[in-house]
Amino acid sequence: MQALADYWSTEYDWRRCEARLNALPQFTTEIDGMQVHFIHVRSRHENALPLIMTHGWPGSVIELLDTIGPLTDPTAYGGTAEDAFDLVLPSMPGYGFSSEPTEAGWDAAATARAWAELMARLGYDRYVGQGGDVGALVTDLMGRQQVQGLAGYHLSLLTAVLAIGDHLPNESEQERAAHQAVATFKQDGFGYFLEMATRPQTIAYSLTDSPIGLAAWMLDHDTDSYYKIARAFVDHAPVGSLTRDTILDNITLYWLTGTAVSTARSYWEDARALAAALASGQAPPPVTVPVGFTTFPGEIWASPRSWVEAVYPDLAYFNEVDKGGHFAAWEEPQLFTTEMRAAFKSLR
């Protein structure tokens, strides 16, 4: 934290990030009383496939910026015109430049419905989705809600593990390793989740008084994040694109928008929605569109194919890559782009 504070206060330049954001087409629209901020980049290539990507916590649209060029202008990044996407990157309610909810109910399911409305307003009657971390939950709920226009989606985190992990296969070495990773996360890296899911304002209000306190919570909320992010400051050996500047771009966005409380409260909303779903005893609605999944080796739990197929029996695309982790688009934007092209190729 001393290394971070020193760099943040003496060398870091927010104006660089500000200029980068301001160079992008950004908009807001009101959906169900919420001002939703989004970046909307149309490809110059005809027949580009519309793609809405959802960030997670403690992320923001910042974590997706390096994918904009490769996804929307593939011919400049080793691809073909047939690989092009029109890209929509919304800020989740309470995150970044989207407004904060003023009443209860803005859980991931509500966000999923809002994203469907957003894509309809943009004139997209057929599109695909992608998400990791909390974004994976939002994207999956769009599929289970069978929202109009969604033709398929891709995930990089199997969020169902938190609900049905004990029932997933546990026979092969890879499956046992995945179960151990889940157990380690729950034992050594789950405290932030429980705190924000039960007392979000108790912790988060304390983070609005100190930028260093906010940075510490965002960097060391779980063990995996700490080791990846600390390397950029302590060893000057960043994990992929997780550099000192990109990490501080994201933290500074949280600080300047004052969204520590509202982002934490989103966990409170989702925890109650999950508890209600489990208490009902009902199986989640089926997914009727193609689902793609990429397992990145540095994910908190790197899901084997057997796990993914247990949740999505009609899995349309699966791949295990050799690098990248929980912040897949942020860490390895070029590899992430390659996966998007492959996962959605059959849906063009």
Residues 6+ apart with CB under 8 A from 341: 74, 79, 83
Distance from C-alpha of 172 to C-alpha of 303, rounded to nearest angstrom: 12
Whole-number pLDDT of residue 223: 81
Whole-number pLDDT of residue 330: 94
3-state class (DSSP) for residue 2: helix
Nearest-CA neighbor of 56 among 232, 222, 244?
222
Q: Identify which has the larger pLDDT, 19 or 229.
A: 19
Q: What is the mean pLDDT of residues 47-73?
A: 97
Which of the residues are catalytic? 133, 267, 326
Distance from C-alpha of 83 to C-alpha of 70, rounded to nearest angstrom: 9
Cβ atoms of 207 and 308 within 8 Å: the answer is no
Burial of 108 (0-12, 13-18, 19+ CB in 10 A): buried
Summarize pLDDT for 292-341 with one digit per residue, the tens: 999 999 999 999 999 999 999 999 999 999 999 999 999 999 999 999 99
Q: What is the mean pLDDT of residues 166-171?
A: 94
Residues above pLDDT 70, as percent of the chain: 100
Q: What is the mean pLDDT of residues 115-143?
A: 98
Q: What is the mean pLDDT of residues 262-279?
A: 94
Nearest-CA neighbor of 262 among 97, 109, 101, 58?
101
**Rounded to two decimals, what is the model's pTM?**
0.96
* Model confidence at 343: pLDDT above 90: yes
Give the domain ranges of the chain: 2-347
Lowest-pLDDT range, 13-27, 77-91, 101-115, 227-241? 227-241
Distance from C-alpha of 121 to C-alpha of 119, rounded to nearest angstrom: 5
* Model confidence at 188: pLDDT above 90: no
The topology (CATH level 3) of 2-347 is Rossmann fold (3.40.50)
User: Residue 288 has which token pair?
Assistant: 């009727």
DSSP string, 137-196: HHHHHHHHTT-TTEEEEEESS-TTHHHHGGGS---SHHHHHHHHHHHHHHHHS-HHHHHH
- State the Cα torsion 136-140-142-148 to the nearest 10°: 120
Give the max Cα distance, the chain: 54
Residues above pLDDT 90, as percent of the chain: 87
* Model confidence at 225: pLDDT above 90: no
Q: What is the mean pLDDT of residues 120-149?
A: 97
